[in-house]
Chains A and B, each alone.
Chain A
Amino acid sequence: MSVDSQMSTGTGPAAQDAVALHEQPKISIVVEFSGGLEMLFSDQRRHSLSIPAVDKDGRPATVAFLIDYLCRNTMKDSRQELFVLEDHLRPGILVLINDADWELEGEESYEIQNGDNILFVSTLHGG
């Protein structure tokens, strides 16, 4: 599943949030950024977030949903292309779900659980 499915909908973020606020339960997660990505998120490495437990269609929130959510709500920087490219996470960023590569967990389709720790790491090249 791609981020696209959330991004291309006609509903604006405000409307979507309103639905989420009134009808949807929330889950608490910790999202962390490292390797320079924190600069896109107010220079803050660790964010404790409360996100909707299901998307607008009532399906459980996935990592794809989270990426879209972060772009809409958490990122204060306008350089979105440093995080998402062509509706997917940009190459060179690893996602680690509870200390494991997201590829072991189902990548974008992983359904986020209450209490999850999700870390976005940009690869470094310096040496």
Chain B
Amino acid sequence: MESASSKAEALRLQILKAESELEALRSQLEEFEAQPVPQNASPGPVFNAQSRDWKWPLKEDEYARYGRQLILPTVGIQGQLRLKSTSVLIVGAGGLGCPAAAYLAGAGVGTLGIVDGDAVEESNLHRQIAHSTAKLGQRKVDSLGHYCETLNPEVCIVTHATHLTPDNAEGIVSKFDLVLDCTDHPTSRYLISDICVLLQKPLVSASALRTDGQLIVLNNPAEPQGSLGGGPCYRCVFPKPPPPESVVSCGEGGILGPVVGVMGVLQALEAIKLISAGVGAQPKNPHAPALLLFSASGPTTFRSMRMRGRRTNCFACSASSTLSLAALKSGLLDYVQFCGVAAPVSVLRPEERIAAAAYNKLLGQNPELPHILLDVREKEHYDIASIPGAVNVPFSSFQLRKTDSEHPKPDWLPGDLPYDAPIYVVCRVGNDSQLVTRILKEMGLDGGGKRFIGDIRGGMRAWKQEVDDTTPFT
């Protein structure tokens, strides 16, 4: 058995070696083919104006369209031909995917694949530059695909109006040479990295939130599992997913358009650099993997960090990995479970909560009701719209560590407020308000049950639905 398995191992190595030699031969051939055919061999007239035979590798108008990048050493005619013969998959047609796809279509990649299961929403438009007001409700892949087609009809656009799943990942990704992760959640980021490792595709990954962005080129070179010569995968850098409570989406945390735009444009740039140098070609001077940090609000706008190589015990790309296409397809890997789901907060009893409509009714019956309505959203939310009379004390201010002077009377609590005047707490959707209600009770503000402290169930979203539908909800 042992000698058979070692023979098999030797054969595998031999195959790998032969494959890489073949790859090198192919890339040499490509280089020769890209060079103009020497004309000096044929005697007689070199130029025949009558027949006007097209003898150049690109089409006539392509020389005009790509001229400005063709004359750069980074691209050149060879790089342009490589772009034209390369297919790139963009996963996520949002804030990263829109600019990335636009620049890659503009640069003339041969095939551009776009994967996204969502439709265009109004809240996308400030940053997802390929979608327009007229396209609200349309599928994002159609909107972005159309944008790219009108930008450059030379590019073949392939759309998949679905999210990438363990089941469809192989079928979709295997048809492309290079992948851009333009998604917005750890579950998709781990899945995309895994399929890129399995199918040996380099991966350009970026992300953005608020005023910060991050960019890293992964699995480059895209060596087989177990080869330490390959670039690190997402799991080498982040072996464990972050706790779901710490994952903040653009909807919750906010995002500045140009910030995510910069990151998407940088993804396109990295892709163009990879392709014109030859995807799969061994780089002459391989760069150490680097993580680029962008910050619109920090002291340094761009910082490049040297990163580790492949992890020898990586779940996905190491020699000991059990990750396989079959395992992926059979559903053995549950990415949602792996990354976890933040459970909705439920720390209050029903009698500690009041419906938005009920609070409104209470005040309608007794407008002079002595009470406090605490709005615990951050100031920016409060400034946009709030319930009349609400006092803003942001959630984060309740997280300060308690000082030695035990529970000083909070300054938002008026001294003349009757001891039994209720305190209502409201937040965005009714999670933080529960936690603050708990904290207030722990501070002893309910006077041992003499004062009602509770939250408005469902927060400002419920207020909009149940009471005042004009309230802007952010």
Contact = CB atoms under 8 A, between A and B. Distances in A.
Interface of A: 32, 34-36, 39, 45-46, 75-79, 81-82, 85, 90-94, 96, 99-101, 103-104, 119, 121-127
Given A125-B184, A125-B207, A91 B400 contact: no
A76 B97 contact: no
Interface string B203-216: 00011111011100
Interface in B272-322: 291, 293, 295, 297-299, 303-308
Nearest to B208: A126
Contacts of A93: 242
Given A91-B242, A92-B247, 9 more contacts: A36-B209, A36-B212, A45-B299, A101-B306, A104-B306, A104-B307, A122-B246, A127-B181, A127-B250
Contact of B247 (A34, A77, A79, A125): A125
A76 B400 CA distance: 6
A13 B246 CA distance: 27
16 contacts: A34-B295, A36-B212, A90-B242, A91-B238, A91-B243, A92-B246, A92-B247, A100-B305, A101-B291, A122-B242, A124-B208, A124-B209, A124-B212, A126-B249, A127-B95, A127-B260
A44 B263 CA distance: 24
A33 to B, nearest CB: 10
B255 interface: yes
B298 A34 contact: yes
B305 A77 contact: no
B117 to A, nearest CB: 14
Contacts, number: 122
Interface string B231-272: 000000111111101111110010100001001000000000
A99 B400 contact: no
Interface residues of B, number: 54
Contact of B298 (A45, A78, A79, A122): A45
B247 A35 contact: no
A92 B213 contact: no
A92 B242 contact: yes
A76 B401 contact: yes
Given A77-B396, A77-B401, A85-B243, A123 B238 contact: yes
Given A90-B243, A92-B242, A127 B305 contact: no
B92 interface: yes
A22 B453 CA distance: 48
B291 A126 contact: no
Nearest to A121: B293
Given A104-B306, A126-B207, A127-B183, A94 B291 contact: yes
B246 A101 contact: no
Contact of A36 (B185, B253, B400): B253
A73 to B, nearest CB: 11
A76 B213 CA distance: 25
B346 interface: no
A99 B214 CA distance: 14
